[in-house]
Amino acid sequence: MSQTKDKIKVGILRGGENAYYAPSLIKGGEIISNIFDNLSEKYKVLDILIDKKGVWHLNGIPVNPADLSRKVDIIWNTSRQPSFSQLLQGLSIPSVGNESFVRVLESNREMFRSHMKNIGVRMPKSVVLPFFQEDFDLRYAEGFDKASGPKEEYAVRKAREIFEKFSSPWMVKSLTDDAGMGIHLAKTFPELVRAIEDGVEHNRSITVEEFITGRALGVYSINGFRREDIYVITPDKFTVTEKEKLASIVKDVHKYLGVENFMKSDFILHPKMGFFLTNIDYLPDLREGSHFYLACEYVGAKMHHILDHILEKAINKRT
């Protein structure tokens, strides 16, 4: 490690060749800004960008990944490509980010739901529809009505398949972040068809999920913060019993997935069926006024306190 009396050199890895390129740029940028604004006396930030062609850059200059071990003390990996996590492990560079297994689960909803079922955590039912490929998707379609058009026929056929698996209402959205495609709440079969057509028009893979009614909430869990094995920040407007139940679920998920640093868990509390896990994320929302900002304020902490804790923990793990 190159750490001396100088500032600790933190590389923020962002970008990549997959569909999460743009979100990774944004999240990585938030971390860079927060460290620069609040922790610059302790850390020196270096921007590690991987462009869409897979070329690595350090502060704008192309770099061989193998050389990073001499240029940084730790890397915060905001990409969502398992291969990057494996590469950093191979270079023995201390890193913040999730192991390859967790990153695979991020991109495979069915596998993730299966693992959550193993520990008794419920999730809404869902179906992922890969992006529409006319030749492939219609070549073997039975009863294809050429008069209706290939995209329309595809949407109707897929809507029927979903209708047979679980009932309305359905939430339809792009599988990856896409500002051009909104989130649809379909209550009828025709609305479901139109929502799928929107995904087809945007050339995106889409997910259709069972819509669970109830109270939406976000919970944060941090390893080792305030000397707790897993420190959980629960919402304030819930009963003590609900908070205890929620903290127990979050800790079970956190441990099962082997999360080493930070996790946000999104839930819906159904009035009769209880908690449903709807999403997990491993990158904090560092915008001022964000839900994470308010959650930190609620427990008497600042967002950069948690960033500092995460970086220190990752560095100390390798020393």
CB 233 within 8 A of CB 298: yes
Q: How far is CA 245 from CA 124, 249, 268, in A?
A: 19, 6, 13
Of 192, 228, 207, nearest in space to 279 by CA: 207
Of 187, 78, 57, nearest in space to 195 by CA: 187
Measured from the Cβ of residue 94, the count of other Cβ atoms closer than 10 Å reads: 21
Bridge partners, residue 47, by sequence: 12
Domains (ranges, CATH) in the chain? 8-104 (3.40.50.20), 126-210 (3.30.1490.20), 213-318 (3.30.470.20)
What's the pTM? 0.83
pLDDT in tens, the chain (319 residues): 444 468 999 999 999 887 788 889 999 999 999 999 999 999 999 999 999 999 999 999 999 999 999 999 999 999 877 778 778 878 888 889 866 567 667 667 788 989 999 999 999 998 888 877 654 445 444 544 443 457 888 899 999 999 999 999 999 987 765 555 678 999 999 999 999 988 888 777 888 999 999 999 999 999 999 999 999 999 888 899 999 999 999 999 999 999 989 999 999 999 999 999 998 999 999 999 999 999 999 999 999 999 999 999 999 876 5
